[in-house]
Structures are given as structure tokens and as C-alpha cells.
Structure 1
Amino acid sequence: MSRLMRQWIADALHLLRVAADFATVYASFYLGYQLYFLGKPHEWSVWLPELRPDLYYLPVERNHFLTVALGVSLMTVLVYAAKGLYRDDTSVLHVREYRSVMSGFVIACLLFLALYYIYFAYLGPRIREKLFSRRIFSYASAFSLAGILAVRVTINRIQHRLHRRGIGARRVLIYGAGATGRLVARRLSEFPAFSLLAAGFVDDDETLAGTTVVFDQARGYSLPVLGTGSHLEELMRSAGATEVLVALPSKTPEQNMQVMNYCRGRGIRFRFVPHVYEMAVQRTVMQDLAGIPVIALREPSHRYVYLFCKRLADVALSAAALVVLSPLFLAIALVIRMRSPGPALFVQERVGLGGKTFRMLKFRTMYVDADPYAVTPKSQRDRRITPFGRWLRRTSLDELPQLINVLAGSMSLVGPRPEMPFIVATYDDLHRERLRVKPGITGLWQISADRRVAIHENMDYDLYYLHEQSFLLDVVILVQTVFLAFRGI
């Protein structure tokens, strides 16, 4: 596919988002208007003696409210454009995008209401309230926000399918075929929403030129090493690439500056990928100590509010789930006892918040003579797994008893998976970052394509979660987990 065609498809998707946002808000306001008066014919008229003393009732003008809908629709699109929601920029699970969608819509509504009330101030408060129903506006706003999110999820899925086929995605080269470069290639293949398609590696090691580097062992994905960095401009032209992702964390700052100057001098668009250790300390703030500049880690100002709300949600949701799912718990326990001898529950010591150990609960999926601390089964065909246990693992129903751990406070619904003590004993300082938060039943790793690989081999998922913790991210992860569980059934 030519570069012109890829750009045309990208522009078409941008226009589709703009048109979809505008149409969704307008249609939602019309729906809210109709729903409010549905089955209430006597409310189609309101008393406005201030306008016409000789008339006690005056019909509510539908066109007046639809003008309001046009204004909010236009304001929403303008605010979204200002927040960068129509640019080629995304995040894992689109969390930042959805957060901006919600905050942007609230801003658009507040701006429009402010302008509206200023413009109609001369009508007087009673007349203004009759011409503009706050209840209808509330209905319409709720429909709009839900509709925009649903439409964006749909468009994102369409974009995912197109990009997986290489349609509309920008081709990029990855400068560095080492561990970081391979990780970047794997993430680009896993998250097509980034609109980037890796065309190959570039590496300064001349012995790698012409070879093929496997970046995903589980799926057998690989990319060729096209050449060295000294020929970057020609390699990009021959590969049809528009950008280079520099993944050379082992380089010195001076060497990285040389790469930067090379790209700038030739008009090559580039981005640098930091080392995971740099990512771990990227949230820093400069402080002053009696004239001496010092750097300190910056804790989010909303952290304690978030932790409090998260604990409330953990208690409420886990308690409700335990009550609602109690018949399912009983049924699974009975089947386990009937299919294989031994207890229905499997209890294992795991390491949680602050390195403290706790007893984690699961439905037993293996035969009782299996070593509880042996290597975790990586295949459903493992002979230690019972036939019913395979189904439980595929649907993730074996994790349900951990709701008791959540209610007790040793786990959370969302967080890094708890590891066994002998694995935690091998942790370095970076790996121990996982112990700063409560372990969870589900997390980013569990809903990723890399869940087939051991979690301690995919630390970047946990680092991302530690840096980007938010209530919205937790909600998205939970929804995705439920969706994957139903797909497993």
C-alpha cells in the first residue's frame, strides 16, 4: 500500500471520528427530548404568562432545543480537537482517550451552558427555565457520553482490524535489535491501535545485517535486520517507513545525541524508547534544598483518594459477587469433588503488598499429587491438570475464590499478580516495584497476548500499571477481563 493511500485512510478515520462525535451528541439530545415527553402529552405545553399574558400556555419549541443540541455538538467537537482526540495518539486499552472523552464532554457542556445562560440572561430566570429543561439536558448528556464511548470503541475495533492487515498503519523502523527493540516490536504487533507497523530492525552490529530476529517466541513473529544506522535514510526510503523508533538504552547520552542529530539533519521523524529503569523513575520533581537542587520521586496528589475509592469498590464488588455467584461456587466445588479426589479449594502461599505473605485461594485444577510449588503449567495439555480444571483455567473461573482474599484485604480486584515466595526471592530492585501495590485477581498482563508467558518475564506491564494507576484504568481492565472470560466459555 502506498504512503498516499495510508494517509488517505488515516484522514478518513479522523473525519469519521469527528462526524461520529457530532452526530452522536446531536442524536442523543433529540432522543433525550423525545424520551422526556414520551407518554406525557400534557407536558408538551408549559405556562409562560411572562411572554403572553393573554395566553396561559405556550408550546415548547422543539427547534429551540435542537438548536441547543447543535451548539453542544459543535462545542464537543471543538473541545475534543483542542484535547488532541483526533490525532494519531493512543494508549494501552485507550484509557487516556476515554478519560479525555469524558472530561472533554463535561468541559464542552459547561462552556455551552455558561454561554447559553449569559446570552439568555435578559429573558429572566423563569422564562429561561421554561425554555430550557435541565432534566432533558441531563438525559441527553448521559446518552451522549455513553454513545460517544460506544462509537469510539466500535471505531477503534474497526481500526484494529485494518491495522492488523497493514491497512492505514504507518510503517516504522526500530533502531536497535536488542531486548528493548524486540519488546517494542512485540508491543506494536499486540496493540495495532498505535497505528504503527514495524517494517524491520536497524542495528549498528554489522554481523546482524541480513539476518532475521525473532521478537515473539510464542507466536513465532520475526523481523529482518535491514542494515546499520549509517544507512538509515536509504533503509527508511526502501522500506517505505516514515518514522524510526530508537531503542538503544545501552547507548551513552553522547551516542544518543549523535543519532538525534543524524535524524534531525535529514528530516527523519524519530522517537526514543527509554530503558525500563528510566521508566521506573520518570515521575520526578525538582526541589530546592537551601539552594541545592535535588530530585525526588513525585507521588500523585490524588493517590490517597484513589486508594480509598479503590478499597471501597473492592469491598462492595467482591461482597456482591460472592453473594450473587454463591450457587456457581457450590456447583464448581461439587464437580471438582466428583471428578477427582481431594479438596475443592487450592491454598497456596503468595507474596503481597510490602513483601508480606498471605494464603491465596483458587479452585483446584490439578490432581492432588501435583507439587504445589512446581513450575506453573504453561499448556492446557499438561498432564497435571484435570479435564474439568482445563475448562476452569480457560474461563478463569478457577480464580473466583480470590474474591475472598479481596474482601479480606490481602488482594485487590485489579493489580499485579502475586508471585510465589521462591520467585520473589530472586527479584532485583526493579522487580520489587511490583510489591508497592496490592496484588490483584486481574491486570494488564492477564488481558494481554503475553499472558502465556510468565508474568515475571513481562515486567513492563506492571511498571505501566504502577505509573498509570487510575480508577478508569481499573474499570477498563475489569470489563476486558469479563469479556475474555465469556469468550473462553
Structure 2
Amino acid sequence: MSTNESVTPRLYTETLAASHPESRAMSIRLFQSISAAIEMVADFLTCALGIFAAYLPDPSLYIGSQIQYPLREASAVSFAVSLFAVLLLHKNGAYQGSSGLLQIRETERAIRIPVQSLLVMLPFSLLLNLKFSRVGFPVALVLIPVLLILQKHAFVAVIRALHARGCGVDRVIVYGIGDTGKRILSALSHSVRLGLDPIAVITHDDSLDGECMPEMGYRRRRSVPVQRGPITSALLNSCQCSTLVMALPNLSSEQIATAVDAAKQVGSRVLFLSAIELQEQKWTESMDIDGLSLTPMLESFERGPYSIAKRIVDLIGSSLLLLLFAPPLFLIALLVKLDSPGPALFVQERVGRNGAIFKMYKFRSMHKGTPRYEFSPTTPFDPRITRIGRLLRRTSLDELPQLMNVFLGDMSLVGPRPEMPFIVQTYTSEQRQRLQVAPGITGLWQLSADRAFLIHENIQYDLYYLRNRGFFMDIAILIHTLLFAMRGGI
């Protein structure tokens, strides 16, 4: 097959993340950050108030010796318990915005976290000679959760009132109708802290154009208008949409590219309804709302100092390694030629950053005449592999010529592995995000136990790298690769 004709690089560049957010999106994020900070302070004060109130019923009955400064004791305990409770709430994602139809998770946290904080702080307070009232401790176990639940509901009411005035509201268009679309509509409408306000649903069904889609549930308090697709920049602009939720699981690559390109033109971010296997994957930082996992498309941006440092390391590293490995490279090339007829080097077109096609070099590990573009062998007993090829693939020595790709700038020492164009054509929206950075010789997937399976079936490693990549992470991956190779794991 002709890969240049079968792959259109525009398909990939159009599906990269939206450009830097407009001022509207920035103001929404600022509103969410400020409201989260205010909620933390409110939680701290609520817990502190509960501790002080717990000291009031019986100030004369304390564990241990006679108290001389009860106010001082109460202040120390209330500060410690309140601070610990806020830290636990933060760790449990209480300030990330996700909620739900019944707000069960928030209520559960409001009950569990204060109880855990009090139980953890009790032995420390005894060691530090900070006394709890015999009556105050059980009162605090009940009073603080009650106060925290009431405060949370009051806080949500305030946020809802501010949203009604247009403060911190993210106008959302849901691309897709049916039960999934209704679930997303319901979940977003009741997750007040997220500030995601569904204003329209887009469908390709002409018969539904102009109808209203109600949320799920017997009350059906909310419904939004249904409009006929496709998604265009003009449609998003007319609705003043700042977020596009892709709720259709079976969209073609062309439909995804068109919708994402339209969102990019108007500065709207894109959220994808994640695949089931990604919903339990913590590395993707998805928003879990009532069992629905919405994954934001990664923002495509280059961090200047990191990009420059990475290229310098790639250039120097590949040059030194090519000089250092020159004798082994010559010896391996000779063994490949002697083992089976055919060239020593195998040249294959792969997809790089932004969908660019480049020629990748490897030592030939399969017999001459083997189809050039097929799924790679997953077992050393594959009949396509030569005798010397088994050794090369087991030790990854067949990858050494890719140091030339790193030197030329097509690849990096660290990054997602490049794949063949016919595989990239079948990528899902999540998998397509790995094209935002230059591919690498080594990476997280190569060091994992999942390297025995296809690359695109283990996208979580690349997503984690994309979100957390940095100079020191690249150095750490290179060190682990060296140790992995020394143990014979490659």
C-alpha cells in the first residue's frame, strides 16, 4: 500500500487540541479556582466551629488533669482537626468540581472525612496533652458532619445563584442524542460546581431538528433544544459555546476532525466520552460524573525551555551514541546480511508529530519479501522473524538505527512509539492525542508489562507522559531504560 496516498496529515493536525483558551474560558477557570479556595476556607471554618461548639456542653469534664486554658486547648485541637479535614477533602477530590444527581458522594465525604480527622487527631491530642471533653468528642463526631453538609448545600446554592447571573458558566453543546446524551445532560445540569451548562444538543437526525431533549429522571425539570448537525464554527459561535462534549461513540475520523477543527477555530475546548477501559484509568485525569467519564483533549503547546533542552539532549545524545555504537552497528549489519538474503536496514514509513510521515530506520529482523505494513509480531516464534532477528528483537538492538532519526529530528530519545499509517487511520480520539509530540525510541509503554500488546491498545501510558512530560521525567525514563536493558528486560 502507498502510505503517502493513504494518509492525509491534515486529518491529524485538525484533531489536535484547541489553541490557547479565550478570555471567556480563562475567566471561567479563574471563577472555579476562586470558588474552590473559598470552599476550602468555608470547610476549615465550619470544622473549627464544630470543634468549638463541642467544647461548650460540658467544659468542666476533661480527660486527664485539670484544664487551665480551655480556649487555648480548643483552638489548638480545632486548628489541627480542621486543617487535616481540609487536606483529606482535597485529596479525595472534593474541590475538583465533580458532583452528581443526588450529591451522594459529597454527603459521604462530609460524613467520613470529619470522623476520620477526629479519630486520627485523638491520639495525637492525648500525646500533646490537649484534652477533649468527655461529652465534646462524641458531640463533635455528630455536629461537624451535620454542619459540613449544611454548609455544602448552602455553598452550592450560592454557586447556582451566581451561575444564574452568568458568573463562571461554561456554555456546553452536547454532540449526540439518545440515552447517552440524556445522561450527560442530566449529569452536567446537576454538577453545579463544574459550571458546565448544556444549552443545545446536536444530532444528524433531521426528524429531531427543533425538538427538545429532556434530562433523564421522572421529574424532567430541564430540557434543551435539539439542532441538526454537523458541527461548524458558525453554529458554535451562534450558541456562544465554550465547551463541546463528544457523546457519540461511533463517530468517523472525518466527523471528529470536522467537529474538533470547528471548536479550535472558535476557541472552545473539547471533552470526549471516554472508552470504558479508560474510565478506570487514573492517569487520564478524566472527570467522573455519575459514572460518565469525560476526558478533555490535551492542550497542544510547547514549553520553550523544555523543548529547547530536549532537542539539545537528543542531538548530543544521538551523536555520541552513534559514535559509541559504530562498531556494534557495523557488526550487527554484517550478521543480518549473513543470516538471510536482503538489505541490513529496514526502512518503513511511520507517523510522527502532528501526523507528519517520516522514514524510520531499523535493522531488518524479518525475511525479505515479508509485507512491509502489517501488525508487528507479538511472539518470537512468528515465522516471519529471522534467526538473528529473534535476538535483535529480544534485546531491542534492531532499534539502534533510529538514533539517526533522532539526529535528524524526526524522533526523540523519549516519547510515544511511532506507528504505521494504516494503524493511525483507525485511531480513536484518545489515541490521536499521542501525535502531539515527537515519537521516541523509548518511553513509558516500552518499560511496562503491556509492551507485549499493541501500542494503541495501551494509550494510558502515552496520555500520562503527555500530561507530565518534562526534562527530569525524560532523564528518569532514560535511566530506567538503561537499567531495564542491563537486567535483560528488553
Query: With CA pairs under 8 Å and 6+ residues apart, which has the higher RCO, 1 or 2?
Result: 2
- State the TM-score, normalized to the length of structure 1: 0.42
